[in-house]
Chains A and B, each alone.
Chain A
Amino acid sequence: MATTTDHAISALTGHPKIYEGSRIPHPTPTILQVPDDLRGDDDILEINFGPNHPSTHGVLRLVVSLDGEDVVGLKAVIGYLHTGFEKTMEQKTWWKAITYPTRMDYLSFQQNEICFVMAIEKLLEVEPPPKAQWMRTLLSELARIHSHLVWLGTAGLELGAISIFWYAFRERDLILDLFEMVTGVRMHTRYVQTGGLAEDIPPGFAAECRKFIDVMPKRIDEYETLLSNNIIFLERTKGIGHLSAEDAVALGQSGPMIRASGVDWDIRKAEPYLVYDQVDFDVPVYQEGDVYARYKVHMDEMRESVRIVHQCLEAMPEGPWILDDRRFVLPPRSELHTSMESLIHHFKLVTEGYRVPEGEVYQVFESSRGELGCYLVSDGGPRPWRVRFRAPSFVALEATATCLSNSLIADMIAIAASLDPVMGDVDR
């Protein structure tokens, strides 16, 4: 077996596609090694950056080797927020496991929830009714704006732009109010059910949501006047943290990361799911691959999301919000008071759960920070055999060593923030 591996790696040296002209460190792609001529130098200072540092968006630890102000070595250490969600979900019924994905990426919770439920529906081979599809699209776009606003506020804060934080969180609160109106809670909503939605959309939601999307484009203009023409912000974001298109693909990047590096790739366009093939939107792509390009992608995506939410409200169909398939959908509440069979059925679904056919699926979803993948294995029983989430932040952090090579310590904060890591998503 050893010979086969040796052969494969030697074959790679004949195909230096990835490493020629690439800034990805070698041999470990995620560790920036201190160069040989500097190693052992007394002036090299090794600093632990985190895990409890306000600028790391959670509990990210960066072990940085400094030569004066230059970053010459770097290693990202994660796992401080590992909670074993995947293991826990194996112990829960499919029905109860839906609460867990929302806790992973706690800024775009709706999207994780929808992705997991879509994977279950793929195994069950069912499709939710149109109203549920449109509402899921609407919610996942609101979640995208929500997540980008938190990113914008905190990333700005780290560069000393305090006002943007207050403005961004003001609008974030409006979105949380909308979530509260629909689902009853502001975060970790668990509104999506297998086969549709848990409840009908409340009356008056469309009007409230319209108020928000009417005001939002003006607010995004406000942010842009605060930052896009701010000389300090431009100086601190332009031309740093560079990631080329080839390196981004080799490092498996997705979402705003890859679009800021000049790769026109968006799962919503390329492999449409929900109703993304019926709405009109553009995919912002920037060629520079620096922190400023990532900022611009985030801003443009918020505008596009507002457009999608607007179209969803216009097109929202009438009708049922969940399938009438009693294999996995709870009986309507009204039946429980009159029908013994419905009561028994309700009880069985809640206690024992429903069975999902045997098989394995990989469901992808364009979340706020890239490709969210859900790999499910079912043995035909009422509980998942294996749940795995391909977390976009986890993959984004693999690019730290590449983005931070040849940078200054002062730029490190801006670059780490531009990767948009959510540590709950990274560590799961």
Chain B
Amino acid sequence: MSWEHVPGYFSEMEAFGETTVRIDRPRIADAALHMRDAEGFNMLSDVSAADYLGWGEVGVAGYWGAPNGRDANAPGSWGLAKSPEPKPTRFAVSYHLLAIPEARRIRLQVWCEDGESVPTVVPVWPTADWHEREAFDLMGIVFEGHPNLVRILMDEDWEGHPLRKDYPIGGEPVRFSEAE
């Protein structure tokens, strides 16, 4: 089935039995409304954000053990067998939709860079409230139009967004780790 008629349609992909429809970032709220009212996806299961900083590159930051991160090519390292497909931008936000009772699922996906905001879908599915707050808290993605976009899991005065790949692991410095 083609999803070209969805507002803001960019591309679609089938993998592992799941459909992913990529939507233009500014039009995600329109697409969400269309999916809910015209396609019957009455429930939003989940909103997941992912950070692709350093995807497939040498020296991915935020890894325990090596100051330079992991080396994808060094022999004996925990590197990759082959380089993965490049990603369009740094962040992806995935909306997992569900249609009850037909049991259909689909994933809407938008891509953004650091500092770009994503329109909120809270008016479409109220359950997005906390999911978007969590994505903001842990990944630093700003949802434009969200009624109460504040931290949810971390302290209110916390600095940084812990699930980002450039967020340091460990928290406390390890002695002699710099002295190699």
Contact = CB atoms under 8 A, between A and B. Distances in A.
Contacts, number: 169
B59 interface: no
A382 B82 CA distance: 12
Contacts of A428: 153
A385 B55 contact: yes
A30 B100 CA distance: 23
Interface residues of A, number: 66
B84 A358 contact: yes
A271 to B, nearest CB: 5
Interface in A355-386: 355, 358-362, 364, 371, 373, 375, 377, 379-383, 385-386
Given A78-B152, A362-B18, A381-B79, A398 B130 contact: yes
Contact of A395 (B52, B122, B123, B127): B127
Contacts of B125: 250, 252
A427 to B, nearest CB: 6
A29 B129 contact: yes
A78 to B, nearest CB: 7
Contacts of B33: 8, 11-12, 15
Contact of B100 (A82, A249, A359, A394): A249
Contact of B80 (A28, A249, A265, A380): A380
Given A27-B147, A250-B125, A398-B129, A379 B80 contact: yes
A1 B144 contact: yes
Contacts of A271: 103, 105
Nearest to B107: A362
B176 interface: no
B81 A82 contact: no
A377 B107 CA distance: 14
A218 interface: no
Interface residues of B, number: 65
B29 interface: yes
Interface stretch (A84-92, A296-304, A313-321): A84-92
Contacts of B29: 4-5, 8-9
B73 interface: no
A263 B103 CA distance: 13
Contacts of A24: 126
Contacts of B45: 252, 362, 364, 371, 373, 390
B44 interface: yes
Nearest to A388: B48
B179 interface: no
A250 B126 contact: yes
B12 interface: no
Contact of B148 (A28, A249, A382, A388): A28
B127 A122 contact: no
B13 to A, nearest CB: 10
Contacts of A364: 45, 105
Given A252-B43, A385-B50, A386-B50, A4 B27 contact: yes
Given A1-B26, A362-B18, A390 B96 contact: yes
Given A8-B33, A12-B123, A358 B85 contact: yes
28 contacts: A1-B25, A2-B144, A4-B29, A8-B119, A11-B30, A12-B124, A28-B129, A78-B153, A79-B152, A82-B154, A87-B163, A91-B169, A122-B16, A122-B17, A252-B126, A252-B127, A265-B101, A353-B78, A361-B16, A362-B18, A362-B48, A362-B107, A373-B45, A379-B55, A385-B50, A386-B48, A395-B130, A397-B130
Interface of A: 1-2, 4-5, 7-9, 11-12, 15, 17-18, 24, 27-31, 78-79, 82, 84, 86-87, 91, 93, 122-123, 125, 249-252, 263-265, 270-271, 352-353, 355, 358-362, 364, 371, 373, 375, 377, 379-383, 385-386, 388, 390, 394-395, 397-398, 427-428
Name the 4 nearest CB pairs between A and B, nearest first.
A252-B127, A8-B29, A29-B126, A390-B46
